[in-house]
Amino acid sequence: MASGWSETSTVELSFATTGEPRPLLAELEMTLFRVAQEALANVAKHAKASKVGLTLSYTDQAVLLDVRDDGVGFLAEQVGGGNGRPAEGHGFGLEGMRQRLRRVAGSLEIESAPGNGTAVSASVPAISAEGGR
């Protein structure tokens, strides 16, 4: 997905993994995939970024997805105040990511400031496809 996105985008993308990659439960993998898709879609639509980095980090307890761009950034009030409703003129992207992650006991953190880019950090439990951790 990341390589396909970078081929159709004008934004330079770097991808990295840390830790020992392993298959997760399908629902966890799909959640991370969809969050990454939405985060990259937001970069393409809103960020005016020249670079974006996507990192998957595998730990014993969790798998972390970080998407960081060097774009224009934003204030939280510009995209909704966390009440589940987007600000006028904005979609449900960030709230949709939060809801997806909540369904699998995951979490989402957003760091952004005008002129300083945006970092989207998602975490899901590291439950392997074999049923153990």
* CATH (domain of 74): 3.30.565.10
Does 2 map to a domain?
Answer: no
> How many folded domains does the chain comprise?
1
- Show the tokens assigned to 11: 């934004």
Residue 84: its pLDDT value, please?
44
pLDDT at 3: 85
User: pLDDT tens, 35-70?
Assistant: 999 999 999 999 999 999 999 999 999 999 999 999
* Residue 6 counted as domain residue: no
pLDDT tens for residues 79-128?
654 444 444 445 568 899 999 999 999 999 999 999 999 999 999 999 99
pTM here? 0.87
Helices and strands of the chain, counted as H and E runs? 3, 5
Q: With the C-alpha atoms ordered 109, 14, 10, 2, is the resulting torsion angle positive or negative? A: negative
Q: Is position 59 within any domain?
A: yes
Q: Report the C-alpha gap between 74 and 113 in whole angstroms.
A: 5
Q: Is there a domain that residue 5 lies in? A: no
| Rounded-to-integer distance, Cα 78 and Cα 35, Å | 20
- Provide the residue range defining the domain that includes 116: 12-125
Give the pLDDT confidence of 7-28 residue by residue, as tens digits.
Answer: 899 899 999 999 999 999 999 9
52 in any annotated domain? yes
DSSP 88-122: TT--SHHHHHHHHHHHTT-EEEEEE-TTS-EEEEE
